[in-house]
A and B are shown apart, each in its own frame.
Chain A
Amino acid sequence: MSLLEVTDLTMAFGGLVANDRISFTLHEGEVLGVIGPNGAGKTTLFACIAGFLKPTRGQVRFAGEDITGMRPDRICRRGLVRTFQIVRALPDLTVLQNVMVGAFLRTHAMREARQIAEEVLAFTGLEARAHTPGKNLTIADKKRLEVARALATQPRLLMLDEVMSGLNAQERQQAVTLVRAIQRRGISILLIEHIMDVLLPLSNRVLVLNYGKKIAEGSPDSITRNPEVIAAYLGSSYASPS
């Protein structure tokens, strides 16, 4: 069953077309990878889907409902949540409190929210940081907090925007393990990474963007053999972890 359906989505900033008639479908339970060089329009695509930008044209359907242009909090309530590439930990709130804000979407009871948050912190390996204010976290922990907070809203579809960039090899491995564990929980994932080596093994299918256009879609294998994709990435450092 298709959970997310994007049809002819176009987002223009004045003359710059950041997303150009993009269409794709994400199936329930799937990890769909999105790759493309910096500036390809990946983050913009997330912003349009999650309600942070109003697409110039096109439609976004989630779980059978048209959510195009809907407010982000309403979309989140329906079970679609995004993380931010430029991390946005709530600085004055502790890690636990950050995650509890997400948990309060589903319950208004303090104890229950705390329980959900603690469970999510254990799942994401952040328990040791529970009482650290958001502003004092390392970049790796901030990225993990982005994921934890999103999970606390109990989503059906989680959209991760470069949660592995800027991490060292060990931290990246932990993140990969976490993404796999999330998928095992039955949560569908739309995953942006510009490093192919990280993204390909995690994805069931891959979508390739370049200059705002979808240039390829298919299995990880077929993507690596696609001449257009190779051309887009040729000579760039994105093909392997820096």
Chain B
Amino acid sequence: MLDRRLPAPLTLTALAVVIGILVTTPLLINNNVFHHTLILIGIYAALAQAWNILGGFAGQISLGNAIFFGIGAYTSSLLLVRAQLSPWLGALAGMALAMVLALLIGYPVFRLAGHYLAIATIALAEIALVVFQNLEFVGGAAGISLPITRDMQGRPTDSWWMLQFNSSKLPYVYLALGVLGVVQVVATLLDRSWIGFFLRAIKNDQTAAAAIGVPVARYKLIALLISSACTALIGTFYAQYLLFVDPETVFGLSLSVLIALVAILGGAGSLWGPFLGAVVLIPLAEATRSQLGGRGTAFDLVIYGLLIMVIAVFQPAGLTGLPERFRPRQRTSVAPAAPADTQMEESLRS
């Protein structure tokens, strides 16, 4: 947001360096594990940024963003398997469906006072999980494998149109970074527009926001629509990368919670928090997962939940808030007067 940024030249330089590193290192370090990790970082940073627009900017906590991810992944995959439709078009269909669902959730929920969004999204993701596990039409619990794109001779091949690359992970690396770039740009533009101001006003104090003309429910819904569309897009990309979708992976609670954790660890509400959170957490999560074996265990969830609580208590501003914490306190003549002011405020209550 305005006034909280580094000076423009510094920001641009930092941005250029980060982009430069992201673009060149995959070429220099041509290693499958490294590429896989980069892809996951891109995916989770993008997912966390999509969550951040809703949870960080607007303060509307969703613990079920997996529902939109799953819709994106399943919509493009089913359209591909059943109708040979390009995943690019499938992605658009998935985003549209996710937004329709977001509207159906958000319209009633945002008209109620209180934190029903978290409950509503968790509940719907869990319902989707059970439904998809039991619907044969969508592959049931076993999920769907996507067909390999082949050339005339029947050999696996690469195709931008079918969004599939069988010779190397490198295109997926750049696609993941591209998706992250898109979501990052969306968040940045929002942050610097009236929408960002309205969302932050809503997060700070929605009664005060309404008093000065902010249509609170409408802007919460806008944040949810944007968040859901971005999340669905990433879902399609993820399915294309794995060439496989299954209900537990894409609708599971542990995915929803991990998305929130990445954003909260990095710094909810900050533009670079989600990226930072993913850079720190995803390699760790990958390393421990291969150590402990298996995903979707309740164990993941316990660890994630504990981490969120620890951050909420000790460092609510996340990693991006750390410099602020260790910076020497600014001189504020105001601070000592605060208790007296508070008392006066109390005595005026009537």
Contacts and interface: CB of A to CB of B under 8 A. Distances in A.
Interface of A: 38-39, 43, 50, 52, 71-74, 76-77, 81-94, 96-97, 100-102, 104-105, 108, 110, 113-114, 131, 134, 136-139, 149-150, 152-153, 162, 165-166, 194
A92 B200 contact: yes
B161 interface: no
B83 interface: no
Contacts of B201: 90, 93, 101
A108 B3 contact: no
Contact of A101 (B193, B212, B350): B212
Contacts of A43: 350
Contacts of A104: 194, 197-198, 213
Interface string B190-230: 00111001101101110111111111100000000000000
Given A101-B212, A104-B194, A138-B337, 12 more contacts: A43-B350, A52-B211, A86-B348, A88-B207, A90-B209, A93-B1, A104-B213, A113-B194, A137-B334, A150-B212, A153-B212, A166-B341
Contacts of B350: 38-39, 43, 85, 194
Dominant secondary structure at the B interface: helix
Contact of B348 (A52, A131, A165): A165
A153 B201 CA distance: 15
A197 to B, nearest CB: 17
A73 B193 contact: no
Contacts of A150: 211-212
B194 A73 contact: no
B345 A92 contact: no
A111 to B, nearest CB: 11
B215 A73 contact: yes
Contacts of A76: 210-213
Contacts of A90: 200-201, 204-205, 208-209
B21 interface: no
Contacts of A105: 212-214
Given A39-B350, A73-B216, A166-B348, A92 B211 contact: no
A43 B193 CA distance: 34
B3 A101 contact: no
A239 B139 CA distance: 78
B210 to A, nearest CB: 4
Contact of A110 (B194, B212, B332, B348): B194
B271 to A, nearest CB: 14
B348 A162 contact: yes
Contacts of A166: 341, 344-345, 348
B210 A72 contact: yes
A97 B205 contact: no
A94 B211 CA distance: 18
B2 interface: yes
B204 to A, nearest CB: 4
A97 B212 contact: no
Residue from B204, B213, B335 with most neighbouring chain A CB atoms (10 Å): B213
A120 B334 CA distance: 23
Contacts of A71: 210, 215
Nearest to A76: B213
A88 B341 contact: no
B5 interface: no
B316 to A, nearest CB: 12
Contacts of B2: 96-97, 114
Given A88-B205, A108-B193, A102 B213 contact: yes
Contact of A108 (B194, B208, B332): B194
B327 interface: no
Nearest to A40: B350
A103 to B, nearest CB: 9
B82 interface: no
Given A52-B207, A88-B205, A93-B200, A73 B214 contact: yes
The 5 A-B residue pairs whose C-beta atoms are closest, nearest first, are A105-B213, A38-B350, A88-B208, A90-B204, A76-B213
Given A93-B200, A97-B1, A139-B345, A50 B211 contact: yes
Nearest to B4: A94
A91 B209 CA distance: 12
